[in-house]
Amino acid sequence: MTPTKNTITDLYTDHILENGDKVGIVRFADMRSCLRHCAEKKLYCRSSDTRDGWRYGNDFPNREKTLDALKSGRIVQRVLREYDRQRALIDSKVGISKFLGKGLSCKRKRKQADEGDELSLSRLMSGSDNYWMRTERFSKRKNIRIGVNYALNCGNGSKDYARLGGTMALLCDVCYKLGYSVEVHGLGVSRYRGDRDYRHVISDIIIKKPNERMDIQRVLSVMHKGLHRDIWFGLKDALFDICTSSYGSQTHTNKEMRELIGIDYVVEQEEIRDDDMLGNFFEDTIHKLVDKRERGYLS
């Protein structure tokens, strides 16, 4: 793939794949930087569709509540229930527990900053500017980078987002218990329809860095419908001049695109449409992960 310099903005980069397809990708180092940038530039969906239930869901039914939930890592309860359901299902079908080991020990260190995962009330009350805390971990674990492609088509509802989120979180949990460190990416991988010469456009938000503690609820928070149908729609509209009829047009993340993004595994709808496919996905993935662990490397 050949990168090309984009002269319009430094927020995203253009890339040419081996088959000649042009891909635009916008990256954010974390959720807070994404939300901050969108708030400053008012990059939200401009569609005239006023169905808040379709855009945001019922748990956080408007933009304000969705943004607050994304900032604090609060989750849609249906996603958490789906994670618990899948965990029981996969353990009965694949026997996850027989693969799980203690992994490698690690040291954790708390750091104070102007943003993070936990609020330090004592530092806030004392007037300190650095009142957020983040727990970072340091170990020799091999790192696995996992993405979830939340760019579902318009006919999908809350249960479909929940299924994707549950699968992604369970895969992260399994990798962690197998002894790997985990980096989590929220991805919007979409086909392009508009007046420019793109084939695909991608958003990439890092949800969890490998040295941060595994917080399943924060990982699951990426599956808010509003992140896709308000924020990613708005970014696509502003950056790529996409036509509104293709806002939710999903595309498969092939090997070259995974390498472009820099991830090892992507959870996508086409691989987990029913419980049988879900079981096959986990059985295949877990055996590959165990094999890599036993051989001591990641390919």
Residue 187 has pLDDT above 80, yes or no: yes
Asked if residue 199 and residue 121 are part of one domain, the reply reads no
Asked if residue 168 and residue 244 are part of one domain, the reply reads yes
In this structure, of 35-39, 67-71, 159-163, 284-288, the range with the lowest mean pLDDT score is 284-288
The domain containing residue 260 runs over which residues? 2-104+139-295
Residues 61, 53: contact at Cβ < 8 Å? Answer: yes
Cα separation, 81 vs 16, in Å, equals 40
> CB within 8 A of 170, min separation 6: which ones?
83, 86, 87, 90, 282
Residue 185 has pLDDT above 80, yes or no: yes
Asked if residue 80 and residue 184 are part of one domain, the reply reads yes
Residues 13, 191: contact at Cβ < 8 Å? Answer: no
The residue out of 119, 137, 155 marking a domain boundary is 137
Q: Which amino acid is at 245?
A: S
Closest-CA residue to 257 (of 220, 207, 203): 203
Asked if residue 126 and residue 86 are part of one domain, the reply reads no
SS (H, E, C) 115-173: CCCEECHHHHHCCCCCCEEEEEEECCCCEEEEEEECCCCCCCCHHHHHHHHHHHHHHHH
Asked if residue 18 and residue 57 are part of one domain, the reply reads yes
Cα separation, 205 vs 188, in Å, equals 9
pLDDT of residue 257: 96
Asked if residue 225 and residue 271 are part of one domain, the reply reads yes
For 15-54, the pLDDT digits (tens) are 999 999 999 999 999 999 999 999 998 889 877 666 788 8
* 158, two tokens: 């809350």
Count of the separate structural domains present in the chain: 2
For 85-101, the pLDDT digits (tens) are 998 998 888 877 776 65
The residue out of 118, 137, 156 marking a domain boundary is 137
Q: What is the pTM of this model?
A: 0.82
Residue 229 has pLDDT above 60, yes or no: yes
> CB within 8 A of 61, min separation 6: which ones?
52, 53
pLDDT of residue 299: 43
Residue 244 has pLDDT above 60, yes or no: yes
Residues 219, 169: contact at Cβ < 8 Å? Answer: yes
Asked if residue 260 and residue 120 are part of one domain, the reply reads no
For 110-122, the pLDDT digits (tens) are 555 555 556 555 6
pLDDT of residue 50: 66
Asked if residue 125 and residue 74 are part of one domain, the reply reads no
Residue 220 has pLDDT above 80, yes or no: yes
The secondary structure element, H or E, covering residue 237 is helix 233-240
Asked if residue 273 and residue 131 are part of one domain, the reply reads no
Cα separation, 62 vs 70, in Å, equals 12
Asked if residue 147 and residue 114 are part of one domain, the reply reads no
Asked if residue 175 and residue 147 are part of one domain, the reply reads yes
Asked if residue 267 and residue 125 are part of one domain, the reply reads no
Confidence of residue 237 (pLDDT cuts 50, 70, 90): confident
Tell me what percent of the residues of the chain surpass a pLDDT of 90: 52
